[in-house]
């Protein structure tokens, strides 16, 4: 029997902003951008949530619901700094810590009882330590399965600790809405509701074969999750085991649609940098590069190209995605969104000719130095010259580069 913690920081981005500016405390605050911008809410204070504002909501919708809210762009570097502080505290309680994002982590605390006591005592000690050493509140879920621990931390919010005792998982989950199960989005929820399934308990009564027939392998994972088991996606491996992504992507939505080629290509350069940075962070190389392009009327195209060798270099990613862009864009048509996506991730770049290898090695060394500068001075401190015109504010809700424990060689 294993014991897992899921540690979720409470209104993390807002809480960090309040530490920097105590006058924000108790006020409706929205982090993610300005009220008149496109984009979504990254975090909302509890005072703003009373008006119906929540994360992933369009900023303009949040303004309509709570026009008196204070809208902030956010400070990603500060969030990463506090994430590292939290990670340092977590590592004292278990060597098995995996940051799922900048503000949440899974911990395997099995076998730590002699050091920290039984699960509830250990969780309360951790809860206190995080507050004392960072000034931030967190919620902790405890369970024999990571999926249940994640649900429990959500139920414990704000600033609480909840332990789901072994054997009680199904009873704990049964009365909850099916959206509480990690991975169940609006589409799956709608499909399940079409079968009269609204609570996790409703889901648990269905035959696994029925779910497999109607939802494929995801249906089998749902069957396991409804009974409190780790199943599907993130929960297939152990904490820290083969946590590399299957694909990496970054997108940017322009505040105003544009047809200006220099701006569009510069934005693609910046997105390629962001993708390349994360590839190097995971020590991975991409074999396939994909462009995503969305026009003013929301029509969207994706175009992909497979390389003769895998790469993690910003320059090579940009070269390929720019070629796709030039080949496929509608002349003079205004564009709303651009995205760069890579897949076919491998642990090595494969065979190259000698001339290409020499050039690649020079770029590899240069980008390693660039990554170190970004680690020290921030993600926007260095950029390709091509990407200077397209530089944009980092979306704080994205899974960022620089997550604690993800940098090669970092303990």
State the chain's mean pLDDT as an integer: 86
The pLDDT value given to residue 376? 58
**Element (H or E) spanning 300, and its range?**
strand 300-311
Q: What is the tens place of the pLDDT at every residue in 275-327?
A: 998 888 888 899 999 999 999 999 999 999 999 889 988 889 999 999 999 99
Q: What is the tens place of the pLDDT at every residue in 127-175?
A: 999 999 999 999 999 999 999 999 999 999 999 999 999 999 999 999 9
C-alpha 30/C-alpha 327 separation (Å) is 39
Is 312 within 8 Å of 285 (Cβ atoms)? yes
Is 72 within 8 Å of 206 (Cβ atoms)? no
Is 6 within 8 Å of 150 (Cβ atoms)? yes
Q: What is the tens place of the pLDDT at every residue in 4-23?
A: 999 999 999 999 999 999 99
Q: CB pairs under 8 A, 24+ apart, for 223-227?
A: 225/147, 225/181, 225/182, 225/183, 226/170, 226/173, 226/181, 226/200, 226/201, 227/169, 227/170
Number of residues that this document lists for the chain = 411
Q: With bands split at pLDDT 50, 70 and 90, how would you rate the model's confidence at 190? A: confident
Q: What is the tens place of the pLDDT at every residue in 64-94?
A: 999 999 999 988 889 989 999 999 999 999 9
Residue 394 annotated among the catalytic residues of the structure: no
Tell which residue, 386, 366, 355, 352, has the closest CA to residue 313: 366
Which position among 17, 18, 104, 273 bears the catalytic label? 104
87: phi then psi, degrees, rounded to nearest 5: -60, -40
Listed range (108-122, 331-345, 369-383) with the worst mean pLDDT: 369-383
Q: With bands split at pLDDT 50, 70 and 90, how would you rate the model's confidence at 356? A: low
Is 95 within 8 Å of 106 (Cβ atoms)? no
Is 192 within 8 Å of 203 (Cβ atoms)? yes
Q: What is the tens place of the pLDDT at every residue in 357-370?
A: 666 666 666 666 66
The pLDDT value given to residue 411? 47
Q: With bands split at pLDDT 50, 70 and 90, how would you rate the model's confidence at 193? A: confident
Tokens of 176: 């909850």
C-alpha 387/C-alpha 234 separation (Å) is 33
The pLDDT value given to residue 23? 97
C-alpha 95/C-alpha 108 separation (Å) is 8
The radius of gyration of the chain from alpha carbons, rounded to an integer in Å, stands at 22
The pLDDT value given to residue 134? 97
**Three-state DSSP class for residue 279:** helix
The pLDDT value given to residue 237? 63
Q: What is the tens place of the pLDDT at every residue in 329-348?
A: 998 899 999 999 999 988 87
Tell which residue, 159, 123, 156, 133, has the closest CA to residue 19: 133
The pLDDT value given to residue 373? 60
Is 379 within 8 Å of 401 (Cβ atoms)? yes
The answer to whether residue 409 scores a pLDDT higher than 50 is no
């Amino acid at each position: 029997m294993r014991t897992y913690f899921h540690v979720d920081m409470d209104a993390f981005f807002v809480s960090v902003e309040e530490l920097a500016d105590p006058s924000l405390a108790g006020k409706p605050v929205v982090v993610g951008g300005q009220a008149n911008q496109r984009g979504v809410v990254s975090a909302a204070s509890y005072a703003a949530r009373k008006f119906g504002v929540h994360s992933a909501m369009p900023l303009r919708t949040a303004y309509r619901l709570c026009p008196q809210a204070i809208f902030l762009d956010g400070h990603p570097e500060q969030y990463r700094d506090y994430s590292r502080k939290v990670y340092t505290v977590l590592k004292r309680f278990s060597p098995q810590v995996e940051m799922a994002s900048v503000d949440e982590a899974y911990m395997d605390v099995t076998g730590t009882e002699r050091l920290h006591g039984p699960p509830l005592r250990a969780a309360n000690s951790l809860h206190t330590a995080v507050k004392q050493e960072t000034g931030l509140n967190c919620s902790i879920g405890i369970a024999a399965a990571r999926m249940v621990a994640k649900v429990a931390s959500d139920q414990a919010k704000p600033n609480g600790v909840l332990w789901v005792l072994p054997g009680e998982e199904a009873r704990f989950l049964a009365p909850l809405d099916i959206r509480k199960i990690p991975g169940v989005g609006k589409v799956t929820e709608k499909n399940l509701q079409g079968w009269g399934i609204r609570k996790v308990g409703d889901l648990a009564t269905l035959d696994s074969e029925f779910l497999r027939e109607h939802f494929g392998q995801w249906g089998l994972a749902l069957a396991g999750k409804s009974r409190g088991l780790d199943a599907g996606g993130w929960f297939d491996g152990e904490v820290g085991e083969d946590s590399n992504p299957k694909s990496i992507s970054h997108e940017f939505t322009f505040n105003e649609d544009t047809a200006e080629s220099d701006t569009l290509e510069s934005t693609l350069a910046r997105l390629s940098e962001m993708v390349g940075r994360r590839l190097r962070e995971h020590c991975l190389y991409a074999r396939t590069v994909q462009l995503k392009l969305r026009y003013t009327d929301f029509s969207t195209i994706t175009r992909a190209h497979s390389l003769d060798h895998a790469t993690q270099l910003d320059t090579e990613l940009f070269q390929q995605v720019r070629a796709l862009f030039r080949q496929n864009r509608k002349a003079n048509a205004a564009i709303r969104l651009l995205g760069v996506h890579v897949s076919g991730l491998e642990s090595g770049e494969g065979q190259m000719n000698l001339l290409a290898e020499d050039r690649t090695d020079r770029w590899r060394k240069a980008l390693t130095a660039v990554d170190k500068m970004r680690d020290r001075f921030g993600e926007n401190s260095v950029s390709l010259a091509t990407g200077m015109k397209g530089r944009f504010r980092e979306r704080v809700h994205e899974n960022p580069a620089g997550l604690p424990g993800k940098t090669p060689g970092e303990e």
